[in-house]
Homo-oligomer: A and B are copies of this chain.
Amino acid sequence: MLHVEGGLVGGMIYLDNAETTRVDPEVVEVMRLYMLEKYGVPIGEFGSTMEEESSEVLEGAREVIARNINANPEEIVFTSGGTESNALAIKGVAHSKRHEGTKVVASKIEHLSVLDTLRGLGQGGFDTLLLDVDGEGFVDLEGVRRSVDGARLVSVQHANQEIGTLQDLKAIGEVCEEKDVLFHCDAVQSFTKEPIDVEKVGIHLLSVSSHLIHGPKGVGALFVRKGVHPEPLLLGDDREFGLRAGTPNIPGIAGFAKAVDLVNAETVERMRGLRDQAIDLLLEIEDSKLNGPRGERRLCNNVNVTFRYVEGEAVLMHADLEGLVINTGSACYSERLEVSHVIRAIGGTHEEAHGSIRLSPSKWTTGGEIVSASEILGRVVDRLRKVSPLARARRVST
């Protein structure tokens, strides 16, 4: 019925795992159990046997997430995903009467769910400030130090969604602690792929998501350090320590925890090898350029390359015709066709921002698929350049 080999489904090479992932069949089995058999929801102290069962799986899942980031289970709040986690952290802290300051700070290359939330706060009278990054996407630490005085919150991601830059969170955490500012980290891209210890790094709020690690869509979590009090977005009951009302998505939460359980150091190391293999092969294509850093400071499954003289969207569509699924630009849904704010922030030209291509392998990706993907991209880029006015202009001038 279902033919799967490596990352292949139906003959496709799927290298868009930073956008979303295939759910692990073991995760689906766990979800089936809680959809078809143990389908109750926790209902308080006087619950039935079914409700107690669901309460146990909920609290067990909380422990799994907490353990992964060195938090306490009662510091984990389940949400509907990374976007809600970011909103709860940033809007929640901004609107909380229990925290002070009117300034909110973030880096220029945050996910749009962070940047748009800041823009909303700005329209509501908050003072918002965006931090510059260097040519590889690293936040300027001196900039952080200069700008956070009197701030209520600093939001800096762990791994960048487009170019995979892994920020030096420990250094940022130290500045925040010194200046007594709350530190939120969007770890949606890096969760389980790159280790994080909220205690050691001094993080107050951390966003994570399920659907990028072969868990279900529609599930995420927010770590909220004891003593931090975001204002809830959703009211109506005491669930999730009073921070998130609504019937808990028990099958989704159980599936999320199972997905976390299935991650291991070996698969992460494999992805790192595939990443480096892909970077090496793609840089052999003429007039190509890596975006973001190399080595340990890059997310284990992120590859982002600009091919000059071609449009990213055209590469994407031609690759799709050859059975290769990759991504381009900001990799976020937009009717607007905006260029990548990340490539622009690291100093890329408008043309480069339009021409960047992202490949993101998963635990199921094989070395053979990376080789095939590179061959397909080589052919596609070559073909597009033959019809590109930009490339023709280049050939004439050289």
Contact = CB atoms under 8 A, between A and B. Distances in A.
Interface of A: 2, 4, 9-10, 12, 14, 16, 19-23, 25, 27-28, 31-32, 35-37, 39-46, 48-50, 80-84, 86-87, 111-117, 119-120, 211, 216-219, 233-239, 245-252, 313, 316-317, 320, 325, 327-328, 331-337
Contacts of A45: 335, 337
Contacts of A337: 44-46
A246 B113 contact: yes
Contacts of A39: 9, 20-23
A335 B42 CA distance: 11
A interface majority secondary structure: loop
Nearest to A219: B218
Contacts of A27: 35
B20 A28 contact: no
Residue in A21, A44, A80, A247 whose Cβ sees the most chain B Cβ within 10 Å: A247
A387 to B, nearest CB: 18
Contact of A246 (B10, B19, B80): B80
A211 B36 contact: no
Contacts of A316: 46, 48
A335 B335 CA distance: 45
16 contacts: A12-B49, A28-B32, A31-B31, A48-B325, A81-B249, A84-B246, A112-B235, A112-B237, A115-B236, A116-B235, A116-B245, A119-B235, A217-B248, A218-B252, A238-B335, A239-B333
Nearest to A29: B32
A27 B247 CA distance: 19
Contacts of A333: 41-44, 237-239
Contacts of A49: 12, 320
B246 A83 contact: yes
Contacts of A211: 247
Given A87-B233, A235-B120, A336-B238, A22 B36 contact: yes
A4 B36 CA distance: 9
A234 B44 contact: no
A45 B328 CA distance: 12
Given A35-B28, A216-B35, A218-B249, A111 B48 contact: no
A320 B43 CA distance: 14
Contacts of A21: 39
A80 B83 contact: no
A80 B335 CA distance: 23
Nearest to A332: B237
A113 B332 contact: no
A245 B233 CA distance: 14
Given A37-B2, A247-B211, A251-B217, A332 B19 contact: no
Nearest to A117: B235
